[in-house]
Homo-oligomer: A and B are copies of this chain.
């Protein structure tokens, strides 16, 4: 949705930061200081010294998320560095809070070296219940997230990778219900091999897709593409079984689905006309899609979705990350894997009532009260099933608590 530049600047000037710190208790008397600071805080410190896991009982670690970026791949702006990325990352923290009641704070780092980012994240980890890697360019984003996931005992999410993959898989799953197709039988083209493109391709493969062709800016990933980074190289051996060569034109011929995670205007009507029966087009480049849903439908797409909030079938990442983080934190998850991401996608799908499901309604509404509580509940149960949860929670409990904290008081307090 278009926003007036001057209005946006004025709003930011007035807000002086889109998030702030708030005390959960008041300090009015000397006793309050003694309780909250010294000696009061010494007792929980001793408990934690005895049993490290008590840090979840006595501190805010349980609901605290560090949103870490180096500002190397900021939405629509590219490599802008830590200071300039701060308004965007604060915006993300605000959304984590408002949609997931997660205490997210920004850490915009003065280095774009993967080792530096990893080192910093490892060192600050005791303070937080989870880490979200944000707007770090590929392939560094993969180097960072993989290393952190392997090393840390808290979940490490990456919005660019995981949320994008989850909403694409959710939208595709609901589309397949309409079309009566199976993921195993699809020919899928993933246009764009940055963080979102790679992660989406990997999740679709994990979910059963057999025929995926992925492209970077030099064309189809495969032995003939000489401009691949090591992550693309690695992925190229697991896809494009038919060995198709060339660019989007060659890849799209007869395809069932094109997922656009590249840049504005990259999909022409001719490309869609060359696809198979009932083409599905997800044009997710932001802020402007590869093709608008309207143009895609006109060119013959059966289902079209995009990154545009004010068109049909918006596919907002916002359906994914607040609920995923909420669910992981609520069971004190030690990690995050593909089964949990797939569960999250299925939870998003489930919010769209079978009776309402149609070509122009494949995803829940942006402000649906159901999405985050259902995703949180499903993610929590999936983490328990995967042996990645530290505490067990009865079925339905996370849903109820999430609904309560989002709509039953937390927001009303504002």
Question: Residues on A close to B: CB < 8 A?
Answer: 1-3, 5, 7-9, 11-13, 15-27, 29-31, 33-49, 52, 55, 57-64, 74-77, 80-88, 90-95, 97-99, 103-111, 116, 119-120, 122-127, 286-287, 309-310, 318, 366-367, 411, 414
Residues of B close to A77: CB separation below 8 A: 42, 45-46, 49
Find out whether the CB atom of A94 lies under 8 angstroms from the CB atom of B25. Answer: yes
Residues of B close to A93: CB separation below 8 A: 21
Residues of B close to A38: CB separation below 8 A: 75-76, 88, 91, 286-287
Find out whether the CB atom of A27 lies under 8 angstroms from the CB atom of B95. Answer: yes
Report Cα–Cα, A95/B38, bound state, in Å.
Answer: 11
Which of the listed residues A18, A19, A25, A318 has the most CB atoms from chain B within 10 Å of its own CB?
A18
Find out whether the CB atom of B87 lies under 8 angstroms from the CB atom of A59. Answer: yes
Which of the listed residues A40, A55, A310 has the most CB atoms from chain B within 10 Å of its own CB?
A40
Residues of B close to A75: CB separation below 8 A: 38, 42
Residues of B close to A55: CB separation below 8 A: 83-84, 86
Given A37-B95, A83-B126, also A104-B21 (CB < 8 A): yes
Q: Would you mind naming 7 contact pairs between A and B with Cβ atoms under 8 Å apart?
A: A18-B25, A29-B367, A30-B310, A33-B318, A58-B86, A61-B83, A105-B105
Find out whether the CB atom of A60 lies under 8 angstroms from the CB atom of B13. Answer: no
Report Cα–Cα, A302/B412, bound state, in Å.
Answer: 56
- A interface majority secondary structure: helix
Which of the listed residues A8, A36, A39 has the most CB atoms from chain B within 10 Å of its own CB?
A36
Query: B27, B49, B309: which contacts A94 (Cβ < 8 A)?
Result: B27
Residues of B close to A5: CB separation below 8 A: 43
Minimal Cβ-Cβ distance residue in B for A127: B108
Minimal Cβ-Cβ distance residue in B for A68: B124
Residues of B close to A21: CB separation below 8 A: 19-22, 93, 97, 103-105
Residues of B close to A367: CB separation below 8 A: 29-30
Given A9-B58, A30-B309, also A24-B19 (CB < 8 A): yes
CB distance from A197 to the nearest CB of B (A): 19
Residues of B close to A20: CB separation below 8 A: 21-22, 24, 60, 63, 103
Residues of B close to A1: CB separation below 8 A: 30-31, 33-34
Report Cα–Cα, A18/B63, bound state, in Å.
Answer: 12
Query: B46, B80, B90, B110: which contacts A123 (Cβ < 8 A)?
Result: B110
Residues of B close to A86: CB separation below 8 A: 45, 48, 55, 58-61, 126-127
Residues of B close to A318: CB separation below 8 A: 33
Given A21-B19, A48-B84, A105-B21, also A8-B40 (CB < 8 A): yes
Report Cα–Cα, A310/B31, bound state, in Å.
Answer: 10
Find out whether the CB atom of A17 lies under 8 angstroms from the CB atom of B76. Answer: no
Given A84-B48, A91-B36, A110-B126, also A60-B120 (CB < 8 A): no
8 smallest CB-CB distances across A and B, nearest first, come from: A17-B60, A82-B126, A37-B91, A22-B22, A1-B34, A21-B103, A8-B40, A41-B87
